[in-house]
Amino acid sequence: MDRKKLLLAEDDELLASLLNFRLVKAGYEVSHAQNGKIVKEYLSNGLPDIIVSDIMMPYFSGIEIIDYVRNVLKSNIPIIIISSAGNEENVLSAFELGANDFISKPVSPSELLVRVGRELNKRPIAM
Amino acid sequence: MQCKFFTYHIHSLLSAPKIHTDLLWDLSLLFIGLSTLYFAAVFFFRNRQASNSAKMMGRKKTLAPMISEFLFFEEESSKNEKSDYINLKIEIRELLKDVYNRKALSSILLDLQKDVSGDTKKRVFKLYKDLGLDQDAYVKLKSWRWEVVSQGILELTQMQVTESFGFITKFINDKRGVIRKQAEIATVTLKHEGIAYFLDTTQYKISEWQQLKLLDVIRNLEDFNPPKFKAWLTSKNSYAVLFALRLIKYYNQNDAYTSIIQLVKHKNDQIKAEAISCIKEFNILEARETLKSVFWKCNVDIKILILDTIALFGQEEDIFFLKLIENKVVNYSVRSKALSAINAIYPESVIPTEDIIELFGNQIPDDIVTGTAKTSASEIDLEIDIAEHRFKTADILEIEDKEALEAFLKDEMEETVSKFENGPILDKEEIMAPHFIPYIVENEGATSNNLDIEVDYVGINRQSIKTGDDTEISEEQDFVEHIEASHKTLRFDFLPLICENETGFPNKSMDTPASEFTDVLKYHVFYEEVGRTTPLPVQDECNRESFRNPEGVSEDIGLMEIDFLPIVDNQKKEWRDIAIKFPLPSPCFPIEMNNKNLMETFIDEEYSNMDLLEAIEELGDKREIPFLKEMMEIGEEAIKERITELIRVFSKENEPSIFTGSNSSGNLDNGPYSIFEDFFRHCDTEGKLILLEEIATVGDEKELYFLSKLLTDPEIKIRERAKKAHDELKNRISEISGAVRVGEEHKTHLSVGAYNGYGGLNFKEAPIFTSKEEKKTTVGNDARKTKQLLPLEYCFLLDELKIEPFSPNSIADIGFELTIDMETSDENKKEVVNDRFRTK
The string of pLDDT tens digits covering residues B126-151 is 999 988 999 999 999 999 999 999 99
**Measured between CB atoms, which of A12, A21, A111 is closest to B115?**
A12
| Cβ-contact A42, A20 below 8 angstroms | no
Name every chain A residue with its beta carbon within 8 A of the beta carbon of B61: 13, 17
Find the range with the poorest average confidence among A42-46, B62-66, B289-293: B62-66
Preferred mutation among A12, A13, A14 to probe B, highest tally of B CBs within 10 A? A14
Instruction: Identify which of B293, B280, B217 has the alpha carbon closest to the alpha carbon of residue B254.
Output: B280
**Measured between CB atoms, which of B64, B108, B116 is closest to A109?**
B116
Start-to-end CA distance of chain A, whole Å, equals: 19
Chain A positions contacting chain B at CB under 8 Å are 12-15, 17-18, 21-22, 25, 105-111
- Determine, for residues A22 and B64 on separate chains, whether the beta-carbon distance falls below 8 Å: no
Q: Report how far residue B205's alpha carbon sits from residue B203's, in angstroms, rounded to the nearest whole number.
A: 7
- Determine, for residues B61 and A13 on separate chains, whether the beta-carbon distance falls below 8 Å: yes
**3-state DSSP call for residue A43?**
helix
- Determine, for residues A15 and B116 on separate chains, whether the beta-carbon distance falls below 8 Å: yes
| Cβ-contact B818, B772 below 8 angstroms | no
Task: Give the pLDDT score at B6.
Answer: 55
- Determine, for residues A108 and B72 on separate chains, whether the beta-carbon distance falls below 8 Å: no
pLDDT above 60 for B17: yes
Q: Give the closest-approach CA distance of B216 to chain A in angstroms.
A: 15
Task: Give the pLDDT score at B399.
Answer: 41
The reply to whether B109 touches chain A by the CB within 8 Å rule is no
pLDDT above 80 for B771: no
Residues 46-85 of B with CB under 8 A from A: 60-61, 64-65, 67-69, 71-72
Of chain B, the percentage scoring pLDDT greater than 70 comes to 53
Residue of chain B nearest A105, judged by CA positions: B115
Identify the bridge partners of residue B670 per DSSP, sorted by sequence position. none
Q: ipTM score here?
A: 0.87
**3-state DSSP call for residue B12?**
coil
Instruction: Identify which of B638, B493, B487 has the alpha carbon closest to the alpha carbon of residue B562.
Output: B493
Residue of chain A nearest B71, judged by CA positions: A18
- Determine, for residues A18 and B111 on separate chains, whether the beta-carbon distance falls below 8 Å: no
pLDDT above 90 for B644: no
pLDDT above 70 for B124: yes
Residue type, B59: R
Find the range with the poorest average confidence among B74-88, B121-135, B452-466, B642-656: B452-466
pLDDT above 80 for B577: no
- Determine, for residues A25 and B115 on separate chains, whether the beta-carbon distance falls below 8 Å: no
Residues 115-144 of B with CB under 8 A from A: 115-121
Q: A127 to each of A42, B124, B221, B601, how far by Cα in Å?
A: 15, 39, 45, 125
**3-state DSSP call for residue B497?**
strand
Task: Give the pLDDT score at B766.
Answer: 40
Tell me the pLDDT tens digit for each residue of A71-83: 999 999 999 999 8
Model pTM? Answer: 0.48
- Determine, for residues A111 and B118 on separate chains, whether the beta-carbon distance falls below 8 Å: yes
| Cβ-contact B751, B821 below 8 angstroms | yes
| Cβ-contact B820, B754 below 8 angstroms | yes
pLDDT above 90 for A48: yes
Query: Residue B622 — pLDDT band, cuts 50, 70, 90?
Result: confident
**3-state DSSP call for residue B235?**
coil
Q: Report how far residue B675's alpha carbon sits from residue B370's, in angstroms, rounded to the nearest whole number.
A: 100
Tell me the pLDDT tens digit for each residue of B225-234: 999 999 999 9
pLDDT above 80 for A113: yes
Tell me the pLDDT tens digit for each residue of B6-15: 555 555 566 7
Instruction: Identify which of B665, B700, B660 has the alpha carbon closest to the alpha carbon of residue B784.
Output: B700
Angle at B800 between CA B798 and CA B803, to 5 degrees: 40
Task: Give the pLDDT score at B16.
Answer: 72
Angle at B607 between CA B603 and CA B608, to 5 degrees: 90
Question: DSSP assignment, residue B428?
Answer: T
* Overall average pLDDT of the B77-104 stretch: 85
- Determine, for residues A18 and B114 on separate chains, whether the beta-carbon distance falls below 8 Å: no
Strand pairing category for B441-442 and B497-500? parallel
Task: Give the pLDDT score at B162.
Answer: 92
- Determine, for residues B116 and A17 on separate chains, whether the beta-carbon distance falls below 8 Å: no
Tell me the pLDDT tens digit for each residue of B179-230: 999 999 999 999 999 999 999 999 999 999 999 999 999 998 988 999 999 9
Of chain B, the percentage scoring pLDDT greater than 90 comes to 23
- Determine, for residues B120 and A111 on separate chains, whether the beta-carbon distance falls below 8 Å: no
Query: Residue B670 — pLDDT band, cuts 50, 70, 90?
Result: low
Alpha helix stretches (DSSP H) within B72-142: 79-95, 99-115, 119-130, 134-141
pLDDT above 70 for B665: no
pLDDT mean across residues, chain B: 68
- Count A/B contacts: CB-CB distance under 8 Å: 54
Task: Give the pLDDT score at B646.
Answer: 80
Query: Residue B803 — pLDDT band, cuts 50, 70, 90?
Result: low
Tell me the pLDDT tens digit for each residue of B705-756: 888 888 888 788 888 888 888 888 888 888 776 654 444 444 444 443 334 4
Name every chain A residue with its beta carbon within 8 A of the beta carbon of B119: 108, 110
Residue type, B3: C
